[in-house]
Structure 1
Amino acid sequence: MSLSSLKFLLPLLLLLVVPRISVTGDESNDDVGQQYCIADVQTPDDELQGAIKWACEQQGVDCNMIQENQPCYQPNTVKDHADFVFNSYYQKFKNQGGNCYFNGAAMITELDPSHDNCHFEYLP
Protein backbone atom coordinates (compact mmCIF):
# COMPACT_ATOMS: atom_id res chain seq x y z
CA MET A 1 0.00 0.00 0.00
CA SER A 2 1.41 3.38 -0.98
CA LEU A 3 1.84 6.31 1.37
CA SER A 4 -0.69 8.43 -0.58
CA SER A 5 -3.46 5.82 -0.20
CA LEU A 6 -2.66 5.51 3.51
CA LYS A 7 -3.11 9.28 3.91
CA PHE A 8 -6.54 8.91 2.33
CA LEU A 9 -7.64 5.97 4.50
CA LEU A 10 -6.44 7.35 7.83
CA PRO A 11 -9.20 9.99 8.22
CA LEU A 12 -11.84 7.40 7.31
CA LEU A 13 -10.44 4.98 9.86
CA LEU A 14 -10.51 7.67 12.54
CA LEU A 15 -14.20 8.31 11.85
CA LEU A 16 -14.91 4.67 12.58
CA VAL A 17 -12.73 4.36 15.66
CA VAL A 18 -13.09 7.70 17.51
CA PRO A 19 -16.27 7.79 19.61
CA ARG A 20 -18.81 10.55 19.12
CA ILE A 21 -18.46 13.30 21.69
CA SER A 22 -21.43 15.36 22.85
CA VAL A 23 -20.68 19.06 22.48
CA THR A 24 -23.30 20.04 25.08
CA GLY A 25 -22.33 17.34 27.54
CA ASP A 26 -26.00 16.37 27.78
CA GLU A 27 -26.33 12.82 26.62
CA SER A 28 -29.85 12.22 27.92
CA ASN A 29 -32.51 11.49 25.36
CA ASP A 30 -35.38 11.81 27.81
CA ASP A 31 -37.26 14.27 25.63
CA VAL A 32 -37.06 12.31 22.37
CA GLY A 33 -40.54 11.80 20.99
CA GLN A 34 -42.29 14.05 23.48
CA GLN A 35 -45.11 16.06 21.97
CA TYR A 36 -46.47 19.41 23.05
CA CYS A 37 -49.54 21.27 21.80
CA ILE A 38 -49.03 24.92 20.90
CA ALA A 39 -50.95 27.64 19.08
CA ASP A 40 -50.56 27.98 15.33
CA VAL A 41 -48.89 31.36 14.72
CA GLN A 42 -51.23 32.00 11.78
CA THR A 43 -54.36 31.91 13.95
CA PRO A 44 -55.87 35.34 14.72
CA ASP A 45 -55.82 36.43 18.37
CA ASP A 46 -59.62 36.48 18.67
CA GLU A 47 -59.81 32.80 17.66
CA LEU A 48 -57.01 31.93 20.08
CA GLN A 49 -58.78 33.85 22.86
CA GLY A 50 -61.99 31.89 22.25
CA ALA A 51 -60.06 28.60 22.34
CA ILE A 52 -58.28 29.64 25.56
CA LYS A 53 -61.65 30.46 27.16
CA TRP A 54 -63.08 27.08 26.14
CA ALA A 55 -60.02 25.12 27.33
CA CYS A 56 -59.94 26.94 30.66
CA GLU A 57 -63.54 25.87 31.26
CA GLN A 58 -62.46 22.21 31.11
CA GLN A 59 -61.83 20.70 34.52
CA GLY A 60 -58.16 20.01 35.18
CA VAL A 61 -56.73 22.50 32.69
CA ASP A 62 -54.19 24.76 34.39
CA CYS A 63 -54.98 28.35 33.48
CA ASN A 64 -53.66 29.86 36.71
CA MET A 65 -50.09 29.83 35.39
CA ILE A 66 -50.90 32.47 32.74
CA GLN A 67 -52.35 34.93 35.28
CA GLU A 68 -50.45 38.09 36.18
CA ASN A 69 -47.47 37.47 38.52
CA GLN A 70 -47.41 33.75 37.61
CA PRO A 71 -44.48 32.01 35.81
CA CYS A 72 -46.22 31.76 32.40
CA TYR A 73 -47.76 35.24 32.28
CA GLN A 74 -44.76 36.67 30.40
CA PRO A 75 -44.55 37.14 27.53
CA ASN A 76 -48.05 38.59 27.87
CA THR A 77 -49.38 37.70 24.43
CA VAL A 78 -52.47 35.78 23.42
CA LYS A 79 -50.31 33.35 21.43
CA ASP A 80 -47.99 32.59 24.35
CA HIS A 81 -50.89 32.12 26.74
CA ALA A 82 -52.62 29.88 24.19
CA ASP A 83 -49.45 27.77 23.93
CA PHE A 84 -49.53 27.05 27.64
CA VAL A 85 -53.28 26.44 27.93
CA PHE A 86 -53.47 24.28 24.78
CA ASN A 87 -50.64 22.12 26.07
CA SER A 88 -52.20 21.85 29.52
CA TYR A 89 -55.45 20.62 27.92
CA TYR A 90 -53.66 18.27 25.54
CA GLN A 91 -51.48 16.66 28.22
CA LYS A 92 -54.50 16.23 30.53
CA PHE A 93 -56.83 14.66 27.95
CA LYS A 94 -54.69 13.10 25.18
CA ASN A 95 -54.93 9.63 26.71
CA GLN A 96 -58.70 10.00 27.01
CA GLY A 97 -59.38 10.92 23.38
CA GLY A 98 -58.54 14.63 23.61
CA ASN A 99 -56.58 16.18 20.77
CA CYS A 100 -54.53 19.20 19.79
CA TYR A 101 -56.89 20.72 17.26
CA PHE A 102 -58.81 23.65 18.76
CA ASN A 103 -60.69 24.24 15.48
CA GLY A 104 -57.41 24.40 13.57
CA ALA A 105 -55.81 26.91 15.96
CA ALA A 106 -53.21 24.50 17.38
CA MET A 107 -50.45 22.18 16.27
CA ILE A 108 -48.11 19.53 17.69
CA THR A 109 -44.43 20.23 18.24
CA GLU A 110 -41.64 18.06 19.60
CA LEU A 111 -39.70 21.12 20.76
CA ASP A 112 -40.29 21.80 24.43
CA PRO A 113 -41.81 25.31 24.55
CA SER A 114 -40.82 25.81 28.20
CA HIS A 115 -39.00 29.07 28.89
CA ASP A 116 -37.59 30.88 31.90
CA ASN A 117 -39.62 29.63 34.91
CA CYS A 118 -42.56 28.57 32.74
CA HIS A 119 -42.48 24.78 32.52
CA PHE A 120 -44.71 23.07 29.96
CA GLU A 121 -45.96 19.75 31.25
CA TYR A 122 -45.40 16.53 29.33
CA LEU A 123 -47.23 13.36 30.32
CA PRO A 124 -46.49 10.07 28.54
Structure 2
Amino acid sequence: MANSSLYFLGFLACLFLCSSCQASGKTWCVAQTAAPDDKLQAFLIATCERYNCKAIMPGGPCYQPANIHNHASYALDIAYRGTGVCNPDVGTPTITDPSFGSCHYP
Protein backbone atom coordinates (compact mmCIF):
# COMPACT_ATOMS: atom_id res chain seq x y z
CA MET A 1 0.00 0.00 0.00
CA ALA A 2 2.80 2.44 0.89
CA ASN A 3 4.63 1.66 -2.37
CA SER A 4 1.46 2.36 -4.36
CA SER A 5 1.08 5.73 -2.64
CA LEU A 6 4.69 6.64 -3.37
CA TYR A 7 4.33 5.68 -7.02
CA PHE A 8 1.16 7.72 -7.29
CA LEU A 9 2.83 10.76 -5.68
CA GLY A 10 5.81 10.36 -8.02
CA PHE A 11 3.46 10.16 -10.98
CA LEU A 12 1.66 13.33 -9.91
CA ALA A 13 4.97 15.17 -9.40
CA CYS A 14 6.18 14.13 -12.86
CA LEU A 15 2.89 15.14 -14.42
CA PHE A 16 3.07 18.54 -12.74
CA LEU A 17 6.69 19.13 -13.78
CA CYS A 18 6.08 18.07 -17.37
CA SER A 19 3.00 20.28 -17.57
CA SER A 20 5.00 23.22 -16.24
CA CYS A 21 7.64 22.80 -18.95
CA GLN A 22 5.08 22.72 -21.72
CA ALA A 23 3.05 25.55 -20.20
CA SER A 24 6.10 27.81 -20.24
CA GLY A 25 6.25 27.39 -24.01
CA LYS A 26 10.05 27.28 -23.97
CA THR A 27 11.48 25.02 -26.64
CA TRP A 28 14.91 24.52 -28.13
CA CYS A 29 16.13 22.99 -31.37
CA VAL A 30 18.94 20.42 -31.23
CA ALA A 31 20.64 18.08 -33.68
CA GLN A 32 18.94 14.80 -34.46
CA THR A 33 20.99 11.89 -33.14
CA ALA A 34 20.86 10.17 -36.55
CA ALA A 35 21.67 13.28 -38.61
CA PRO A 36 24.69 12.67 -40.88
CA ASP A 37 27.85 14.56 -39.94
CA ASP A 38 28.19 16.10 -43.40
CA LYS A 39 24.70 17.62 -43.22
CA LEU A 40 25.35 18.89 -39.69
CA GLN A 41 28.65 20.41 -40.84
CA ALA A 42 27.02 22.16 -43.80
CA PHE A 43 24.29 23.55 -41.56
CA LEU A 44 26.86 24.68 -39.00
CA ILE A 45 28.93 26.55 -41.59
CA ALA A 46 25.90 28.27 -43.14
CA THR A 47 24.48 29.25 -39.77
CA CYS A 48 27.73 30.62 -38.40
CA GLU A 49 28.06 32.83 -41.48
CA ARG A 50 24.76 34.44 -40.53
CA TYR A 51 24.68 34.27 -36.71
CA ASN A 52 27.18 34.73 -33.88
CA CYS A 53 28.73 31.34 -33.11
CA LYS A 54 31.35 32.67 -30.68
CA ALA A 55 30.10 30.35 -27.91
CA ILE A 56 31.12 27.23 -29.89
CA MET A 57 34.51 28.54 -30.98
CA PRO A 58 37.70 27.48 -29.12
CA GLY A 59 37.64 29.05 -25.67
CA GLY A 60 33.87 29.61 -25.81
CA PRO A 61 31.60 28.23 -23.07
CA CYS A 62 29.97 25.72 -25.46
CA TYR A 63 33.10 24.60 -27.33
CA GLN A 64 33.55 21.42 -25.25
CA PRO A 65 32.75 18.73 -26.06
CA ALA A 66 34.29 19.63 -29.38
CA ASN A 67 32.21 17.50 -31.72
CA ILE A 68 29.93 18.16 -34.66
CA HIS A 69 26.76 17.09 -32.85
CA ASN A 70 27.33 19.48 -29.94
CA HIS A 71 28.28 22.43 -32.12
CA ALA A 72 25.46 21.81 -34.61
CA SER A 73 22.94 21.65 -31.76
CA TYR A 74 24.00 25.09 -30.60
CA ALA A 75 23.88 26.45 -34.17
CA LEU A 76 20.46 24.88 -34.74
CA ASP A 77 19.13 26.61 -31.66
CA ILE A 78 20.61 29.97 -32.69
CA ALA A 79 18.94 29.65 -36.10
CA TYR A 80 15.71 28.54 -34.43
CA ARG A 81 15.72 31.71 -32.33
CA GLY A 82 16.25 33.80 -35.46
CA THR A 83 13.73 32.14 -37.76
CA GLY A 84 11.28 30.33 -35.49
CA VAL A 85 11.86 27.15 -37.49
CA CYS A 86 13.71 24.06 -36.26
CA ASN A 87 15.40 22.72 -39.41
CA PRO A 88 13.55 19.42 -40.03
CA ASP A 89 16.42 17.91 -42.03
CA VAL A 90 18.89 17.81 -39.14
CA GLY A 91 17.14 19.27 -36.10
CA THR A 92 14.47 18.29 -33.65
CA PRO A 93 12.56 20.45 -31.18
CA THR A 94 12.80 19.67 -27.48
CA ILE A 95 11.30 21.02 -24.26
CA THR A 96 14.39 19.92 -22.33
CA ASP A 97 16.93 22.71 -21.93
CA PRO A 98 20.15 21.45 -23.59
CA SER A 99 22.33 23.87 -21.57
CA PHE A 100 25.10 22.28 -19.51
CA GLY A 101 27.84 23.55 -17.23
CA SER A 102 28.75 27.09 -18.31
CA CYS A 103 27.16 26.56 -21.74
CA HIS A 104 23.75 28.25 -21.80
CA TYR A 105 21.51 27.94 -24.82
CA PRO A 106 19.45 31.06 -25.58
Please indicate the TM-score interval, normalised by the length of the shorter structure.
0.7 to 0.9
1:57 alignment partner, SS class: helix
**Structure 1 residue 89, shift from structure 2 partner:** 1.1
Mapping of 1:2-81 within 5 angstroms? 29=20, 32-58=24-50, 61-81=51-71
Q: Could you report, residue by residue, the CA deviation over 1:23-82 in whole angstroms, capped at 9, with x for unpaired residues?
A: xxxxxx577331101000101111100011111122xx2211101111000011100000
Contact 2:21–2:95 (CA under 8 A) maintained in structure 1: no
The structure with the greater share of residues assigned to helix is 2
**2:86 aligns to what?**
100
Q: Could you report, residue by residue, the CA deviation over 1:71-117 in whole angstroms, capped at 9, with x for unpaired residues?
A: 000011100000111101111221xxxx1115x11110000000000
2:96 alignment partner, SS class: coil
**2:98 aligns to what?**
113
Change (3 A) 1:34 1:49: same
2:43 alignment partner, SS class: helix
In angstroms, what is the RMSD of aligned CA positions?
2.6
Q: Please report the TM-score for the alignment, with normalisation by the length of structure 1.
A: 0.65
Identity rate, percent: 31
In the alignment of these two chains, the number of paired residues is: 92
Over alpha carbons, which structure has the higher Rg?
A: 1
Q: Please report the TM-score for the alignment, with normalisation by the length of structure 2.
A: 0.75
